[in-house]
C-alpha cells in the first residue's frame, strides 16, 4: 500500500509514503473507556493524505471519522500507532508542543464556524497569527479576502455576517498561516446549499491555487464530490477509497457500507 508512485503517471492515485504525506495514520488505534464499556473507535487505520490534495473522509455515524481527524490534528491522543503531520509523529508530544503545532501547522474549519463574536472579521482572520507572534503575509491576506468575497466585510463582527460569510472568514483564518493541513469538520453542515457550494469551491480553489492540503470530514455525498479523493471508514477501519468521486459513486459506496457489503 505504501509503494510510492509517480504522480505524473498516476495522477489520481495519491499513494504516498506516510513520511512524505502532509498527514498520515499508521496502524492507528484509539480506544475510549475501559473494560465492559470500552470502545475501539479506531482499529488499526493506515492512510495517507497527499500534499496539495483535497480528501474527504466519509463513513457511517460512529465509524471513527472525527476520532481520526482529532488524532491527526493533535486534538486527541491515539492509544497506539502513529499520527504523522508532515512526517513527524504527534504521539509523545507534550500538550505545549501540540498546542504550538496546532497553532502553527494546522488550520481548522468547524461546522459551527468558531469565530470570536467581539472581534471583527479581519481580527478573527489574523488572530491565530497574532497569538503566534507572526504577521500575516499581506499579499496572501489580500488575495484571500478578495477571493473569498470578504473585502467589504472586514470591519463587520460575526453577528453582522451571514453563515456563509462567517464560514468564509473561518476559511481565510485557516489558510492565511499557510498550514501544513487544513482540517475541515462538516464545514457545510450549518449552511444552505448555495453557501455550502461556495465554501466547497473555495476549499477546492485553495488546493488548486495555493497547493493547500485539505482533509474534510463530511456525511454529504454532494460535499465529498468536490474532493479529489474519498477515504471510507467503517467500524474504525479503512473500508475503501474513491478517486475522482462524484455524487453517484459516493452514494453507492456508502450504501454498500451500510449494507455491510
Q: Which residues bind ligand ADP (CB under 6 A)?
A: 32-33, 39, 41, 59, 61-67
Give dist(CA 99, CA 128) in Å, integer.
11
Distance CA 85, CA 241 (A): 21
Comparison of 38 and 94: residue with beta carbon closer to ligand ADP: 38
Minimum Å gap between C-beta 142 and ligand ADP is 36
> Which is closer to ligand ADP, CB of 13 or CB of 114?
114
Three-class secondary structure of residue 181 per DSSP: strand
| Residue 233 near residue 68, CB atoms below 8 Å | yes
Kindly tell me which of 29 and 86 has the beta carbon lying closer to ligand ADP: 29
Nearest distance, CB of residue 152 and ligand ADP, angstroms: 36
CB of 45 to ligand ADP, least distance (A): 11
Q: How far is the CB of 119 from ligand ADP (least distance, A)?
A: 29
Report residue 143: phi and psi, to 5°: -60, -50
d(CA 49, CA 69): 11
Kindly give the pairing relationship between strand 23-32 and strand 39-49.
antiparallel
- Smaller CB distance to ligand ADP: residue 35 or 133? 35
Count of CB atoms situated within 10 Å of the CB of 208: 13
Residues 234 and 237: their CA atoms lie apart, in Å, by 5
Give every CB contact of residue 112 below 8 A, 6+ residues apart in sequence: 190
For ligand ADP, the closer of residues 83 and 175 by Cβ is: 83
Q: How far is the CB of 183 from ligand ADP (least distance, A)?
A: 13
Amino acid at each position: 500500500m505504501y509503494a510510492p508512485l509517480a504522480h505524473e503517471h498516476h495522477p489520481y492515485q495519491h499513494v504516498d509514503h506516510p513520511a512524505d504525506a502532509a498527514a498520515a495514520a499508521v496502524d492507528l488505534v484509539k480506544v475510549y473507556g475501559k473494560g465492559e464499556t470500552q470502545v475501539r473507535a479506531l482499529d488499526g487505520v493506515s492512510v495517507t493524505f497527499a500534499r496539495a490534495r483535497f480528501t474527504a473522509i466519509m463513513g457511517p455515524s460512529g465509524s471513527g471519522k472525527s476520532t481520526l481527524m482529532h488524532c491527526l490534528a493533535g486534538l486527541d491522543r491515539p492509544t497506539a500507532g502513529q499520527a504523522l503531520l508532515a512526517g513527524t509523529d504527534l504521539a509523545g508530544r507534550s500538550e505545549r508542543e501540540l498546542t504550538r503545532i496546532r497553532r502553527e501547522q494546522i488550520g481548522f474549519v468547524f461546522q459551527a464556524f468558531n469565530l470570536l463574536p467581539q472581534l471583527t472579521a479581519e481580527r478573527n482572520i489574523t488572530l491565530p497569527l497574532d497569538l503566534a507572534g507572526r504577521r500575516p503575509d499581506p499579499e496572501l491576506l489580500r488575495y484571500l479576502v478578495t477571493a473569498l468575497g470578504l473585502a467589504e466585510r472586514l470591519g463587520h463582527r460575526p453577528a453582522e455576517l451571514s453563515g456563509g460569510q462567517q464560514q468564509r472568514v473561518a476559511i481565510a483564518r485557516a489558510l492565511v498561516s499557510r498550514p501544513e493541513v487544513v482540517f475541515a469538520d462538516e464545514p457545510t453542515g450549518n449552511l444552505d446549499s448555495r453557501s455550502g457550494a461556495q465554501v466547497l469551491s473555495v476549499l477546492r480553489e485553495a488546493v488548486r491555487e495555493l497547493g493547500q492540503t485539505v482533509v474534510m470530514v463530511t456525511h454529504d455525498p454532494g460535499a465529498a464530490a468536490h474532493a479529489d479523493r474519498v477515504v471510507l471508514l467503517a467500524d474504525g477501519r479503512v473500508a475503501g477509497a474513491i478517486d475522482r468521486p462524484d455524487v453517484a459513486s459516493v452514494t453507492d459506496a456508502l450504501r454498500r457500507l451500510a449494507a455491510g457489503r
